[in-house]
Structure 1
Amino acid sequence: MEGIARAFEVAGVSILVVGGVWAAIRAVTNYRAGRNVYQGIRSDFGRALLLGLEVLVAADIVKTVSVATTLDNVVILGILVLVRTLLSFSLDVEIDGMAPWRRRQVEAQEQLAKARVEGGPAGPPSTNGGGGGI
């Protein structure tokens, strides 16, 4: 089991390294194209950080399960998962500029506005089964 935990740790760190390199490459490409480098690198590297943290949380869970399950180990795991989850949440909000539960509402409003501009239906789809009659 420790080998599996080690594999998750290596994968998590690899994601962070590859994500950092990828973000740097895209930043150079964006700079040469005259686009906003700052927002792009924040978004690219932030997403790599999120994925890397999630994999590292999985490594912590596997590691805790593989050793003797004591109250101390479970408390330490809980604290690690809580800290990494809060960090992931704050990174997600920082990258997107809004809380995750607001994202769908904003996307729905944008789609509705786009449909109105294009002359499509102005409201939500009908829920009466599409019969259209009485």
Structure 2
Amino acid sequence: MSEFVKRIGEWCTAIIETTGVVLIAVLALYTLLFAAFRLYNHADAEEVFRDTRQRLGRGILLGLELFIAADVIHSAVVEVNFETVGVLAIIIVIRTFLSFSLEVELNGRWPWQNRE
């Protein structure tokens, strides 16, 4: 693989990872400010708590998806060998487990279960 393609892959990976970090940080800040505003306006504290958890969880899930995409690009373009593919597989398994755990925590069901 050419050096140019590797450099493009490195840049894409860095941009996607940075986007994931910024997205999580911005959504967390927005969520906390929105919750504070609602509490200031005398909203039900329990409802604000549930809504805040939902919004934070969604932001983290979106960020995790971006991190997985960056890892795939990095492993496929920048470093192609059995070791990096194995590390990628482990990272994807861990992040997928985190995503499923967050989904269950947020919605009370597995992603493949029907909504009732």
The equivalent of 1:34 in structure 2 is 43
- The aligned runs of 1:40-119 (5 Å cut-off) are 40-104=51-115, 106=116
- Give me the whole-angstrom Cα distance separating, in 1, the residues matched to 2:111 and 2:95: 17
The number of residue pairs the alignment matches comes to: 105
Q: Is the partner of 1:99 in helix, strand or coil?
A: coil
The equivalent of 1:124 in structure 2 is none
The equivalent of 1:130 in structure 2 is none
Counting aligned pairs with the same residue, the percent is 33
Q: Give the structure, 1 or 2, with the largest relative contact order (CA under 8 Å, sep 6 or more).
A: 2
Work out whether 1:13 is the aligned partner of 2:24: no
- Give me the whole-angstrom Cα distance separating, in 2, the residues matched to 1:103 and 1:27: 29
- Give me the whole-angstrom Cα distance separating, in 2, the residues matched to 1:102 and 1:63: 32
The residue type equivalent to 1:49 in the other structure is I
Structure having the higher helix fraction is: 2
RMSD of aligned Cα (Å):
1.2
* Distance of aligned partners of 1:103 and 1:27 in 2 relative to their CA distance in 1, 3 Å threshold: farther
Q: Could you say which structure has the larger radius of gyration?
A: 1
Where structure 1 has 5 or more consecutive residues not aligned to the other structure, the ranges are 107-134
- Runs of 4+ with >6 A deviation: none
The residue type equivalent to 2:68 in the other structure is V
- Give me the whole-angstrom Cα distance separating, in 2, the residues matched to 1:102 and 1:82: 20
* 1:38 CA displacement: 1.5
- Give me the whole-angstrom Cα distance separating, in 1, the residues matched to 2:80 and 2:92: 16
Where structure 2 has 5 or more consecutive residues not aligned to the other structure, the ranges are 1-8
